[in-house]
Amino acid sequence: MPALFEPLKLRSLELKHRGWVSPMCQYSCGPDGAPGVPNDWHLMHLGSFATGGAALILTEAAAVNPQGRISPRDAGLYNDEQAGAWQRITGFVHRHGAADTKIGVQLAHAGRKASTYWPFSGQRGSVPESDGGWSTVGPSRSAFDGYAEPAGMTGEQIHGVISDFAAAAVRAVDAGFDTVEIHGAHGYLLHQFQSPLINTRTDAWGGTEEGRNKLMLAVIDAVRNVIPESMPLLLRISATDWARGGVDLQASVRLAAQAAERGVDLVDVSSGGAVAHQDIKPGPGYQTGFSERIRREAGVPTGTVGLLTSADQAEHAVATGQADGVFIARAALRDPHWWLRAAFQLGHELAWPPQYDRAMPRHSF
């Protein structure tokens, strides 16, 4: 059996194989519906990956409070209407997943990168309150490139965000999600606190690596305490800021080890996003080395992501121990049946939806 199609068990969650869907923001909530509520677009988008053979789907970032949304069109999981809409989607995935597909939600707060225009709006930067935007917060009064300056968070606000993550996790369980991922990457709030390039606080929430990691670990504890013991907890991190003086790989190894001690079952390893002056030289598999180091040195299962587009690339990453699973993103947008194609190309028989059985390839795909 190809390594990519070996099963994996995380706590009581059994995944049919190691080919997964990476979180991808759709910026498609509203404008007609209630803020943060996923709709038919999300059902179609995520459902297509389920019928396409993915073993695990992670949703786009779902904000834990209204101010945590990346844009006015981003999803949330901070009220019951949003939870009910997500439940419709988890039910579809569970009923129609070709590979007994599981689905998890990514919980997030965008911090100083919140209240921005969505990519296809034709505009860039922070959305003013007159156009549906809001004031943002961060660890310090330091703005991201071209965005509005955030307010430095008070201790009360920090504890409020921790509680918001926990409340969103409870809603995630009630909405039928199989797992929860905490978004600690890409320059959003938890990563902002972690990065010395952004967090200039001198109180207990900054000053040292221990202080800068405190919010990330507190959120992990809060979420782990409210989800079932049998449910795995995932954490997405940026392994490096790609900038001098920022988070580096060894710091991420230490963070991952602490996260595992607190009950994180898999670290979803990405990189970058903290600052605009990052120096990234992307290429196929350019992040797999980060995943391998964290997996080996922190002793925690990892997922890898980033310009892995072919079945052979994904197979190599798993077979050589660079990761326990591969998250597919842009390649999945181009081909929502990526996993059915990959199984065929690697000589593995993966169940097809019965409605598509007549199209099952025999000699080529």
What residues act catalytically?
188
237, β-bridge pairs: 184, 269
- Tell me the C-alpha distance between 327 and 23, whole Å: 9
| Nearest alpha carbon to residue 254 among 299, 312, 201 | 299
3-class DSSP state for residue 10?
A: strand
Q: Quickly tell me which residue has 């007549």 as its tokens.
A: 358
- Written as six digits, the tokens of 313 are 């690339």
Contact 25, 74 (CB under 8 A): yes
| Nearest alpha carbon to residue 354 among 101, 98, 103, 44 | 98
Residue type, 337: H
- Tell me the C-alpha distance between 134 and 108, whole Å: 17
User: Which residues have C-beta within 8 Å of that of residue 50, sequence separation ≥ 6?
Assistant: 57, 92, 93, 96, 97, 98, 101, 103
Helix axes 80-96, 155-174, angle to 10 degrees: 40
Contact 98, 51 (CB under 8 A): yes
Contact 272, 278 (CB under 8 A): yes
Contact 239, 271 (CB under 8 A): yes
- Tell me the C-alpha distance between 110 and 125, whole Å: 14
Q: Kindly tell me the sign of the dihedral angle through the C-alpha atoms of 305, 333, 118, 76.
A: negative
Residue type, 190: L
| Residue 265 CB coordination number (10 Å) | 19
Helix axes 40-51, 80-96, angle to 10 degrees: 30
User: Which residues have C-beta within 8 Å of that of residue 232, sequence separation ≥ 6?
Assistant: 10, 11, 13, 179, 265, 266
